[in-house]
Structure 1
Amino acid sequence: MRILTVGAGAVGGFFGARLAATGQDVSFLVRPARAEALRARGLRVEGQGETLRLAPRLVTADAPGGPYDLVLLSVKATALDAALADIGPAVGPGTAVVPLLNGIAHLDALVTRLGGAAVLGGVAKVVTTLNSEGDILRMAPPAVVLTGETDARPSARVDAIRAVLTGAGIDSPETGDIVAAMWHKWVFISTLVSLTCLMRGTVGEVNAVPGGAELGAALLAEAAAVSEAAGHPVPEAERAFTEATVTTPGSPLTPSLYRDLVAGAPTEGDHILTDLTVRARAWGVATPLLDLAALHLRVHEGRLAADR
C-alpha cells in the first residue's frame, strides 16, 4: 500500500514513522523548512519505551507524487486549505483519504475539494509533541487510529487500511459509526481545551484549587449535550473516561491547542470551539462555558491579527 502522510509533526510523524518502520511504502508531504530539518536529522520518535530513527522519504507540494492508496491528513485546521491544495495531484480514483483532525467541519471541506468517494472519517488518539529539535516525544501509551466510511457501511478498503495500521502496532479497532466517534472525540478535546485554556493551567493545576473539578464536569456536560443534539450521544464509558481525564489531581496534561496559546501562536480555536458553539445555538443547546472559552480564544486570535 502506497501511503502519503501529510505533515510530519507530532501526530502524522508518529503514525507515519510507525508505518515506515514496519516496511510500508510511506512518503511524507512537508514544507521546505521541515524537509530541511528532517534531511539533516532524520525522523525520530522517543518515549514510552520506544525509539525510532528513520531517514524518511520526503515530498513537497510542487511534486507530491502519487496517486497514493492512502493519504493520512494530519495537519492543524489552520493549515487545512493549503494542505488540500497540495494533495490534489496525489489523490487518484482509488485513493482513500483519512483525516486525523479534531472536530467535524473539515469533512465538508474535504468532500468539496476531493469528492465524497475519496473521503473517510478518522480519529487519532495519541499523546505526542515535538521538542525543540523537532523530534517526536511520545508522552502516554495510546496509539489509536479509527477510520470508517462516513455513511457507516461495511467497506473492504477500510478493512485493508485497518490491517495495515494494526500491522504497524497502531490500534485500529472496527468502528461501527466513524462520524459518531469523531463527535465523541470532539467532546473530549473541546472539554480539555476549554478547561486548560480558560484557566491557563494544566489539568492538575486546575483541579488543585476549589471549583476546578466542578468546572471540568460542567464543560463536559455542555459538550456532551451538543453531541447528543447532533444525534450522537456519548456512551457512558467514554463520558466517564473524559470526566476522569479532566478531573485527575496532579495531572500534567495539556492539549496542543493550549500549548499553542501560551506560546503566542495561532490556534485551532475556531475549528474546535467556535464551530461547536455555533452548532449548539442552531439546535437550541445552551453552552455558556464553551461560549466563554471560544471568546477567550477569539480575543487571542484578534491580538495576533493586530500584531501582523
Structure 2
Amino acid sequence: MRILVVGAGAVGGYFGGRLLEKGVDVTFLVREHRQKQLQQHGLRIESVHGNINATPKTIQTGDEASPFDVIILSTKQYHLEGALQSIEPYVQQDTMIWPLLNGFRHLEVLKQRFNEENIIGGLCFIETTLDHNGTIIQTSPRHAALFGELSGEKTERIEKLAEVLSGTKTNFILSEHIIRDTWHKYMFITGLSGITTLMRSPIGPIREEKNGQKLILNLFKEIGSVMRANGAQIDDDIEEKHLETVNQMTYEMKSSMQRDMEKGIQVEADQLQGYIYEIGQEHGIETPFLEVIYSNLKVYESQNKVKNL
C-alpha cells in the first residue's frame, strides 16, 4: 500500500515518520524549503516514545508519481484549499483520502471536491511542534490517530489499511463510529483552545482558579447544546468526560492554538470556534462563552499582522 502524506510538519511528519519507521511505502508531498531540509537532515523526530532519523521520499506539487492508495491530510484548515489543489493529480478512483484536521467543516469541503467514496474519516490526539531546524518535537503520552469509514462499516479496504498501520510505534485505531468521534474531538479541541487562548494560560492555572472547573464545563456544555441541535450523535455525558480529560492533563499543557498565538501566526478561529458559533446562530441558540472566545480570537487576528505559515 502506497501512502502520500501532505506536508511533513508536526502532525503529518510524526505519523508518516512512524509508518516510515515500520517500513511502509510513504512519500511526503512538501514545499521546496521543507524538501531541502529533509534531503539535508532527514526526517527527525524527538519523541517521548522514541526518536527517529529517517531519509524520506519526497515530491513537490506537480511532480509525477505512481498512484497512491492513501493520502493523509494534516494541514491547518486555512491551508486546506491549497492542499486539495496539490493532491488532485494523485487522487485515483480507489484512493482513500484520510484527513487528520481539527474541526468538522473540512469533511463538507472534501465531499464537495471529491467523490464521497474517496473519503474516510479521521482525527488524531497528539502534542507536537516543529523547532527552528525542522525537527518534530513530540511530548505527549498520547499519540493516536483514528480512522474509519464514514458509514461505520468494516469494509475490505479499511481492514486492509488497518493491517498496514498495525505494528507501528504509535496508536492507529480503527473506529466504527468515526463521525461521533470527530464531533467529540471537535468539542474538546474547541473548548480547550478557546479557554487557553482567552486566558493566555496553560490549562493548569485555569482549572485551579476558583471558577475554573465551572467555566470549562459550561463551555463544553454550550458547545454540546449546539452540536445536539445540529443533529450530532454525541454521548450524553461527553462534556463531563472531557472535563475529566482536562483534569488529567499536565499543569503546563498549552493548546496548539495558544502556541500559535504566542508565535504571532494564524489561528483556526473561523474553522473551530467560528463554525460552531455560526451553527448556534442558525438554530437561535445563545452561546455567550463562544461569542467572547471567538471575538477574542478575531481581535487577535485584526491587531496582529499574523504570519500565514
Shorter chain as denominator, the TM-score bin is: over 0.9
Contact 1:72 1:97 in 2 (8 A): yes
1:210 alignment partner in structure 2? 210
> Following TM superposition, by how much is the alpha carbon of 1:304 offset from its aligned partner in structure 2, in angstroms?
4.0
Worse-matched range after superposition: 38-47 or 222-231: 222-231
Q: Distance in 1 between matches of 2:237 and 2:225?
A: 16
> Structure 1 residues 270 and 66, CA, compared in 2 at 3 Å: closer, same or farther?
farther
> Structure 1 residues 244 and 151, CA, compared in 2 at 3 Å: closer, same or farther?
same
Contact 1:126 1:144 in 2 (8 A): yes
Matches within 5 A, 1:282-297: 282-297=282-297
RMSD: 2.1
Q: Does 1:270 align with 2:266?
A: no
2:85 alignment partner in structure 1? 85
Q: Distance in 1 between matches of 2:88 and 2:73?
A: 12
> Structure 1 residues 14 and 237, CA, compared in 2 at 3 Å: closer, same or farther?
farther
1:116 alignment partner in structure 2? 116
Q: Distance in 2 between matches of 1:112 and 1:33?
A: 31
2:72 alignment partner in structure 1? 72
Contact 2:99 2:122 in 1 (8 A): yes
Of all paired residues, the percent bearing the same amino acid is 32
1:298 alignment partner in structure 2? 298
> Structure 1 residues 108 and 307, CA, compared in 2 at 3 Å: closer, same or farther?
closer
Q: Secondary structure at the match of 1:164?
A: helix
2:159 alignment partner in structure 1? 159
* Counterpart code for 2:297: L
Worse-matched range after superposition: 275-284 or 23-32: 275-284
Q: Distance in 1 between matches of 2:66 and 2:299?
A: 41
Q: Does 1:102 align with 2:113?
A: no
> Following TM superposition, by how much is the alpha carbon of 1:122 offset from its aligned partner in structure 2, in angstroms?
0.7
2:21 alignment partner in structure 1? 21
> Following TM superposition, by how much is the alpha carbon of 1:238 offset from its aligned partner in structure 2, in angstroms?
4.7
* Structure 2: segments with no counterpart, 5+ residues: none
1:149 alignment partner in structure 2? 149
> Following TM superposition, by how much is the alpha carbon of 1:260 offset from its aligned partner in structure 2, in angstroms?
0.8
For residues 118-156 of structure 1, give each alpha carbon's deviation from its aligned partner in whole angstroms, at most 9, with x where no partner exists: 111111111212122221111112222211222333321
Q: Distance in 2 between matches of 1:73 and 1:64?
A: 19
Q: Secondary structure at the match of 2:147?
A: strand
* Counterpart code for 2:47: G
Contact 1:6 1:29 in 2 (8 A): yes
1:200 alignment partner in structure 2? 200
> Following TM superposition, by how much is the alpha carbon of 1:173 offset from its aligned partner in structure 2, in angstroms?
3.2
Worse-matched range after superposition: 223-232 or 107-116: 223-232
For residues 139-193 of structure 1, give each alpha carbon's deviation from its aligned partner in whole angstroms, at most 9, with x where no partner exists: 1122222112223333211111122222323323332221111110000000101
Q: Secondary structure at the match of 1:5?
A: strand
* Structure 1: segments with no counterpart, 5+ residues: none
> Following TM superposition, by how much is the alpha carbon of 1:64 offset from its aligned partner in structure 2, in angstroms?
5.7
1:62 alignment partner in structure 2? 62
Q: Secondary structure at the match of 1:267?
A: coil
Q: Does 1:4 align with 2:15?
A: no
Contact 1:98 1:121 in 2 (8 A): yes
> Following TM superposition, by how much is the alpha carbon of 1:244 offset from its aligned partner in structure 2, in angstroms?
2.3
* Counterpart code for 1:296: N
Q: Secondary structure at the match of 2:169?
A: coil
* Counterpart code for 1:220: F
For residues 84-130 of structure 1, give each alpha carbon's deviation from its aligned partner in whole angstroms, at most 9, with x where no partner exists: 00000011111000000011111121122222121111111112121
> Structure 1 residues 149 and 249, CA, compared in 2 at 3 Å: closer, same or farther?
closer
Q: Distance in 1 between matches of 2:64 and 2:122?
A: 22
Q: Secondary structure at the match of 1:194?
A: helix
